[in-house]
Copies of this chain bind each other. A is one copy, B any other.
């Protein structure tokens, strides 16, 4: 996995797992890969995986059972709440950043709409073959 060297790896692993949980790739009650396996998959040390998990366990997003494995919480309300928080924090962040750049509320929405509209449209990349 590719990591951003500006953010601690354990923190990026936490984010990575959040997305797996919140998108249902890991469903409520599902067993996570073993910590040693995750460490191999992510090409990091077991302790780094454990550090990420320890925080998620403290938050009760992950339920740890010694000798058995780590499991996604079955509390669906909690998961829905987490997803809402995540969406909101993303929106708040982008809003703040663009607002700081002096874009008005309507310009912010318009620029996002424009980005989405043009996203699929052909960029000016060089065409190599058909």
Chain A residues close to B by CB (< 8 Å):
4, 6-8, 11-12, 15, 18-19, 22-24, 82-83, 85-95, 97-98, 100-103, 105, 108-109, 111-113, 115-116, 119, 123, 125-130
Contact = CB atoms under 8 A, between A and B. Distances in A.
A19 B101 contact: yes
A87 B91 contact: no
B109 A98 contact: no
A130 B88 CA distance: 14
A100 to B, nearest CB: 5
A83 B19 CA distance: 30
A114 B83 CA distance: 16
A67 to B, nearest CB: 29
